[in-house]
């Protein structure tokens, strides 16, 4: 049974999981029933207004002209770009949540993040060198995971912008 999108948004906000938040907002935006006052209260009135504005903007978007004369154009909103519209509208919330997500990482996720950071901080983008280093890092991840450390959760320090979402600060 699929999870109710309003419940998914609530859980995403409680546990700082941006993927759930996006799926929840997409579910709200694409369902046939509008938010009621109880649901708006549960996800927060500001969030309810923001998702409503995404829905309204998409409904009012101009429909494409027909490609051939005499052939009707496809009318109605498309779900293409919905995720981008939601990410744009809720950019501050997603940014704060991404920072908070960084606090709770499995060993594998922490190592993958290290790889990405090392890659952004000066790996030469010259042919085989980059691939060779990437393979080396992948082997390092495999070796560390096989050494018995498994999928334990590792807490890393992350700076969180308190102004962005003061009531959802991670506890470290």
CA atoms within 13 A on the CB side of 120: 5
Domain ranges of the chain: 5-63+78-101, 105-156
pTM of the shown model: 0.58
pLDDT of residue 156: 43
Determine the Cα–Cα distance for residues 137 and 114; give it in Å rounded to an integer: 9
pLDDT of residue 76: 55
- Cα-only R_g, the chain: 21
pLDDT of residue 86: 96
Tens digit of each residue's pLDDT, the chain (172 residues): 688 999 999 999 999 999 999 999 999 999 999 999 999 999 999 999 999 999 999 888 877 676 777 766 655 556 678 999 999 999 999 999 988 887 777 777 777 777 776 655 544 444 555 555 566 666 666 666 666 554 444 444 444 444 544 444 444 3
Give the closest residue to 79 by CA, choosing from 58, 96, 100: 58
Determine the Cα–Cα distance for residues 109 and 99; give it in Å rounded to an integer: 14
Determine the Cα–Cα distance for residues 81 and 19; give it in Å rounded to an integer: 16
């Amino acid at each position: 049974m699929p999870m109710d999108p309003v419940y998914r948004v609530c859980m995403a906000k409680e546990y700082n999981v941006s993927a759930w938040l996006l799926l929840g907002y997409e579910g709200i935006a694409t369902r046939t029933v509008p938010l009621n006052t109880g649901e708006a209260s549960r996800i927060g009135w500001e969030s309810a207004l923001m998702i409503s504005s995404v829905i309204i903007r998409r409904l009012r978007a101009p429909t494409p002209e027909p490609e051939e004369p005499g052939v009707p154009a496809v009318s109605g909103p498309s779900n293409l770009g919905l995720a981008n519209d939601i990410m744009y509208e809720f950019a501050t919330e997603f940014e704060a949540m991404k920072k908070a997500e960084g606090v709770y990482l499995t060993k594998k996720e922490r190592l993958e993040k290290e790889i990405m950071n090392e890659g952004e901080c000066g790996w030469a983008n010259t042919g085989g060198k980059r691939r060779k280093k990437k393979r080396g890092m992948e082997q390092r991840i495999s070796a560390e995971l096989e050494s018995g450390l498994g999928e334990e959760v590792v807490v890393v320090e992350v700076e969180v912008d308190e102004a962005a979402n003061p009531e959802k600060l991670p506890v470290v």
